[in-house]
Amino acid sequence: MSKKINPISNIQYPMFNFQGWMLALGVTVALGAAAAGAAEKTRHNLTLADCVGLALENNLDLRIEKIARDVAKKEVDAAQGGYDPNLSISAKRTHEETLGPADEDSERLEGESDVDSYGASVGGATGLGGLRYDVSARTGDSSGTSGGGNPFDSSSGSAGVTLTQPLLKGFKTDGTRYQVAIARQQSAEADVQLDAKIQDVLSQVETAWYALLQAHESILVQEDAVRLATQLYEDNRRKVQIGAISILDEKQAESQAAAARADWSSAKRTYAEAQNRLKTLLFADHRATRDLEISAIGELSSGPVAVDSAASGERALEKRPDLRQSRMALERQGIAVKYQRNQTLPSLDLVGGAGVAAGSEETQGDVYDRMESADEPYWTAGVTLSIPLGNRAAKARHAQSLANEEKMKLNLRQLEETALVEVDDAAAAVATGFERVQATKEARTYAEQALAAEQRKLENGKSTSFVVLQLQRDLTRARNDAIRALMDYNQQCSALALAEGAMLERLGVVFREE
């Protein structure tokens, strides 16, 4: 079967001519507006595959969930921003005046100086075991007069790099790496949440499509019930006029005809409500589709479905989005446990640096030349140990993370048990649903045969209209029961697929591989 790419979530679904269909819809809306709402509703025949495609294209719940997934993906970029280097630039001038001794033979002003300093540094963190770096350069120029009014002018500068490597706290995991790992996990969970929402929406679409089919068939059944009751009423009315039967028979038939018309009106209301439920799932603008009537077409399954509860349960444990998301959340909590455990360790950092420095009593350019020639190198190396006394906050957070991890394990176990029970219930419903389809089909056939036989007896004067009216009601009920049983059976098959997490496979929707 040909497939069409859906841009909302990188999924494929059975081909449906959206362009031509939406063009027809646009024409319909335009004509409706021109006629000021007086135009007759336009009907479009839609199979279940067509409805699936429209829902994937337009459903607002899916659009919202897709945005939530995109936001989660952007959070990964935000977390990785912790590795972005930080550039710092500074410029400063300092003026100082020094007073001399306060005797009568000397000036109070001993000297003054002006210092111009400039600096730039680039620093940040890396993902290499928590390694941090700082690359800096500094230049300065001092000028002025010293005691006795002696002038001076000097320049200095340095450039170097400093590296700090954690050996305990921050070595296996630090704040930035933790945030990136959490963001990636949450982004993956958002994909699963979108999968879950797609399956839920498609299940709703399938249920609504069956409901629309059932509502339409119920209208046809009630129309036939009105026809049968009205025909019997007309026959009885003529017989009353010639005195063949009592007026009671006429009134009974008239009462049933009125009741059948009331049921017919109720069926039409149910049909209108089913239209709105399905259109809400398929479209994002009710005003644009108010004058559109959807006609559900397609074949329904009435054959037996092989059900294996054990195999279905295993599929559910593997494929259900809620279970997959719960497992991913447990993995995310495992990341938190490792981070909080690392935070309980003391800080032991290896610090090292190297660079060049220079000074000159002449010009700033001489400083740059001497730094370039690296005549005055320097290096540093050392270890910094920091031990938090007590460290109760970190230990408490670690204990909380362990408790939450255990809680999430139990929640996952509970979800798995609930899923297995849901699958068993859904499988049992499918088995009994097929039996009900067969039984109601037979009941409808027997009701049709019973009514036909009783009508022949009535025509021969060997029965009463009361019995015929009762059999008409029985036939109407049997027809509605057969329709409802068939719809329920298909919905039960859909519910089993949803319980297994296999709605996409059931409806032929696949994720596009990128």
The model's pLDDT over 270-286, given as tens digits with 9 standing for 90+, comes to 999 999 999 999 999 98
Give the pLDDT mean for 365-391. 80
- Predicted confidence (pLDDT) at residue 267 exceeds the cutoff of 50: yes
The model's pLDDT over 78-112, given as tens digits with 9 standing for 90+, comes to 999 999 999 999 999 888 877 766 555 555 556 78
Positions of E strands within 367-439: 377-386
pLDDT at 28: 36
pLDDT at 310: 93
pLDDT at 242: 85
Q: What is the mean pLDDT of the chain?
A: 85
Helix axes 465-500, 392-459, angle to 10 degrees: 150
The model's pLDDT over 146-179, given as tens digits with 9 standing for 90+, comes to 766 678 777 778 888 999 999 999 998 999 999 9
Q: Output 257 or 24, whichever has higher pLDDT.
A: 257
- Predicted confidence (pLDDT) at residue 201 exceeds the cutoff of 80: yes
- Dihedrals φ, ψ of 375, to 5°? -75, -20
Enclosing H/E stretch for 140? strand 132-146
pLDDT at 478: 94
- Predicted confidence (pLDDT) at residue 11 exceeds the cutoff of 60: no
- Predicted confidence (pLDDT) at residue 479 exceeds the cutoff of 80: yes
The 3 state secondary structure assigned to 227-294 is HHHHHHHHHHHHHHHCCCCCHHHHHHHHHHHHHHHHHHHHHHHHHHHHHHHHHHHHCCCHHHHCCEEE
- As a whole number of angstroms, the distance between CA 505 and CA 493 comes to 13
Number of CB atoms found within 10 A of residue 123's CB:
16
- Predicted confidence (pLDDT) at residue 196 exceeds the cutoff of 70: yes
The model's pLDDT over 343-367, given as tens digits with 9 standing for 90+, comes to 999 999 999 999 887 766 555 556 6
- pTM of the predicted structure, to 2 decimals: 0.81
- Predicted confidence (pLDDT) at residue 4 exceeds the cutoff of 60: no
| Residue that has been written with the tokens 């068993």 in this structure | 424
- Predicted confidence (pLDDT) at residue 127 exceeds the cutoff of 70: yes
- Dihedrals φ, ψ of 105, to 5°? -95, 0
Comparing 208-212, 251-255, 507-511, the range with the smallest average pLDDT is 507-511
pLDDT at 107: 52
- Predicted confidence (pLDDT) at residue 34 exceeds the cutoff of 50: no
The tokens of 474 are what?
């029985």
Nearest to 344 by CA among 172, 191, 197: 172
pLDDT at 147: 64
Give the pLDDT mean for 470-496. 93
pLDDT at 157: 80
pLDDT class for 464, splitting at 50, 70, 90?
A: confident
Percent of the chain clearing pLDDT 70 (strictly above): 85
Nearest to 364 by CA among 113, 112, 118, 146: 118
Q: CATH: 1.10.260.40, 1.20.1600.10, 2.30.30.100, 1.10.760.10. Which one for 3-78+179-293+315-331+405-507?
A: 1.20.1600.10
The tokens of 447 are what?
């009701």
pLDDT at 191: 94
- As a whole number of angstroms, the distance between CA 10 and CA 513 comes to 8
- Predicted confidence (pLDDT) at residue 30 exceeds the cutoff of 70: no
pLDDT at 322: 95
Comparing 31-45, 139-153, 167-181, 461-475, the range with the smallest average pLDDT is 31-45
- Predicted confidence (pLDDT) at residue 332 exceeds the cutoff of 90: yes
- As a whole number of angstroms, the distance between CA 420 and CA 209 comes to 27
Give the pLDDT mean for 214-242. 90
